[in-house]
């Protein structure tokens, strides 16, 4: 099936960075979807590694240092820096990524800010598509850096092969981060800025908290100290990533079933959201929204009618 973007997608896969950036922009807007990329490699043999953590944890600096290590170990690496998007305007607060500048200039490294556009499922589908495209373009490691704490961390766990949780000394932010419901989404913990006071306390807190996901799971999640600004600990972090990915390839990681279940749920949710959004662009749906806004019908009745519209529109 020809979508009108085929030539651009093929140019991106051939290594044309300008085409790659344009296709990723189309993915962000929802103009390129799974069916458009299906005839190419989906994810391929690339490693998709998520970096999550509270603001100020130093994820961008760590991503820069880690990308240099990944480039040396495996080859071309891409960094997707995911920014929050406005649910109302679709715009994103795209960081300037100054600290990534010197790394992005290196051959074999591609850095891109990526807007979620407020889609249901957040990172799930658009990041999966962008990572698949990058993999087919020859990037064998894709780092996904998320901003903030919350649903993005859960989404990136469902999409990524491996999730690295970054915290800093001081206790409060780390504890709040773990309480936000992301603990079980983390595969490797990093205490960044480990040269600051409180690193020992933070590591002890993580060791007492980051027990195996279930009693039957004997795989303890590693805790690595880093100072991203100097590169200290980055080699150890990369070794932990390699070991964890080796466990995945040998089928030793018990979290894979849960990850596959979450991936499927997020994909189905994203598709249903698109179908509802498309139908809400129809004339009768606009009329329905207008009546809700005026208080002529209640939300329960509107919900029932929208579901009926979706059912009628589905093949």
Q: Which CATH number characterizes residue 217's domain? A: 3.40.50.300
Please tell me the distance from the alpha carbon of residue 305 to that of residue 307, in angstroms, as a whole number: 5
Q: Are residues 192 and 290 in the same domain?
A: no
d(CA 202, CA 52): 17
What's the confidence (pLDDT) of residue 164? Answer: 93
pLDDT band of residue 278 (cuts 50, 70, 90) is: confident
Q: What are the residues whose beta carbons fall under 8 Å from the beta carbon of 94, sequence distance 6 or more?
A: 83, 113, 115
The dihedral region occupied by 182, where left means phi > 0, alpha psi between -120 and 50, and beta the remainder, is: alpha
Tell me the per-residue pLDDT of 104-119, one tens digit each, with 9 for 90 and over: 678 899 998 887 554 4
Q: How many CA atoms lie within 13 A of 205 on its CB side?
A: 21
299 exposed, middle or buried (CB, 10 Å; 0-12, 13-18, 19+)? exposed
My answer on whether 166 and 279 are in the same domain is no
| Sheet strands side by side (includes 109-115) | 109-115, 77-83, 141-146, 47-52, 162-167, 188-191, 223-225
pLDDT at 261 over 80: no
- Same domain (yes/no): 276, 154: no
Residue 123 is predicted with a pLDDT of 61
Q: Number of structural domains, the chain?
A: 2
More confident: 13 or 96: 13
Whether 244 and 298 share a structural domain: no
149 in Cβ contact with 62 (< 8 Å) = no
Confidence of residue 88 (pLDDT cuts 50, 70, 90): very low
**Do the domain assignments include residue 20?**
no
pLDDT of res. 132:
84
Is the domain of 233 the same as that of 276?
no
Angular region, 169: left φ>0, alpha ψ -120 to 50, beta rest: beta
Domain end: 253, 286, 304, which one?
A: 253
- Please give the helix or strand (H or E) that residue 82 lies within, else none: strand 77-83
CA distance 293 to 171: 45
* Whether residues 228 and 301 fall in one domain: no
Q: Residue 12 domain-assigned? A: no
63 and 100 Cβ atoms separated by less than 8 Å: yes
In this structure, are 178 and 50 located in the same domain?
A: yes
Q: What is the CA radius of gyration of the chain?
A: 21
Residues 124 and 55 in one domain: yes
pTM, two decimal places? 0.77
Is pLDDT at 120 greater than 50 in this prediction?
A: no
**Residue 201 shares a structural domain with residue 279:** no
Instruction: For residue 93, name the pLDDT band (cuts at 50, 70, 90).
Output: very low
What is the distance between the alpha carbons of residues 212 and 152, in angstroms, rounded to a whole number?
22
pLDDT value of residue 186? 84
- Contact between 244 and 162 under an 8 Å Cβ cutoff? The reply is yes
158 and 59 in a single domain? The answer is yes
Which residues lie below 8 Å from residue 185, measured CB to CB, with a gap of 6+?
A: 52, 153, 154, 156, 157, 163, 165
- What pLDDT is attached to residue 153? 57
Q: Is the pLDDT of residue 249 over 80?
A: no
Residue pair 13/136 in contact (Cβ under 8 Å)? The answer is yes
> What pLDDT is stored for residue 86 in this prediction?
43
Based on the fold, state whether residues 166 and 283 are members of the same structural domain: no
Decide which of 234, 253, 272 is a domain's last residue.
253
8 A C-beta contact, residue 237 and residue 49? no
In-domain check, residue 113 = yes
Look up the domain containing 286 and give its range: 263-313
pLDDT value of residue 134: 92
The band of 218, judged by pLDDT with boundaries at 50, 70 and 90, is: very low
What proportion of the chain, given as a percentage, has pLDDT over 70? 70
Q: Which of 230, 253, 276 is the last residue of a domain?
A: 253
What's residue 214's pLDDT? Answer: 47
- Is position 76 within any domain? yes
Which residue(s) pair with 183 in the sheet? Answer: none
Are 130 and 272 contained in the same domain?
A: no
Residue 123 included in any domain: yes
Q: Does residue 144 fall inside a structural domain?
A: yes
Give the pLDDT band of residue 69 (cuts 50, 70, 90).
very high
Q: Is residue 78 part of a domain?
A: yes
CA 47 to chain centre: 13
Is 8 inside a domain boundary?
Answer: no
Q: How far apart are CA 253 and CA 101, in angstroms?
A: 35
- Burial class, 45, CB count within 10 angstroms (exposed 0-12 / middle 13-18 / buried 19+): exposed
Lowest mean pLDDT among 88-97, 261-270, 294-303: 88-97
Structure tokens at 292: 């809700």
């Amino acid at each position: 099936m020809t979508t009108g973007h085929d030539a651009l997608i093929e140019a991106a896969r051939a290594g044309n960075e300008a085409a790659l950036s344009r296709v990723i922009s189309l993915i962000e807007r929802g103009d390129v979807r799974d069916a458009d990329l299906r005839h190419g490699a989906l994810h391929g043999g690339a490693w998709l590694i998520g970096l999550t953590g509270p603001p100020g944890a130093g994820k961008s600096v760590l991503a820069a240092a880690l990308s240099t290590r990944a480039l040396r170990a495996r080859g071309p690496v891409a960094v997707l820096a995911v920014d929050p998007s406005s649910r109302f305007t679709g715009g994103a607060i795209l960081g300037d990524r100054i600290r990534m500048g010197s790394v992005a200039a290196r051959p074999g490294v591609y850095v891109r800010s990526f807007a979620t556009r407020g889609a249901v499922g957040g990172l799930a589908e658009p990041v999966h598509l962008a990572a698949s495209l990058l993999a087919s373009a020859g990037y064998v490691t894709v780092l996904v850096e998320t901003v903030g704490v919350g649903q993005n961390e859960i989404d990136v766990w469902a999409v990524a092969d491996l999730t690295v949780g970054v915290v800093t000394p001081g206790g409060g932010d780390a504890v709040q981060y773990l309480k936000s419901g992301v603990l079980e989404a983390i595969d490797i913990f990093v205490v960044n800025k480990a040269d600051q006071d409180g690193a020992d306390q933070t590591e002890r807190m993580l060791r007492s908290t980051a027990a195996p996901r279930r009693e039957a799971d004997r795989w303890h999640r590693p805790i690595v100290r880093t100072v991203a600004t100097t590169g200290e600990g980055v080699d150890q972090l990369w070794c932990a990533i390699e070991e964890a990915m080796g466990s995945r390839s040998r089928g030793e990681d018990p979290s894979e079933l849960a990850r596959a279940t979450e991936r499927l749920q997020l994909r189905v949710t994203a598709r249903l959201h698109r179908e509802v959004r498309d139908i809400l662009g129809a004339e009768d749906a606009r009329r329905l929204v207008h009546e809700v806004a005026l208080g002529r019908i209640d939300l329960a009745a509107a919900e029932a009618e929208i579901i009926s519209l979706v059912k009628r529109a589905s093949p």
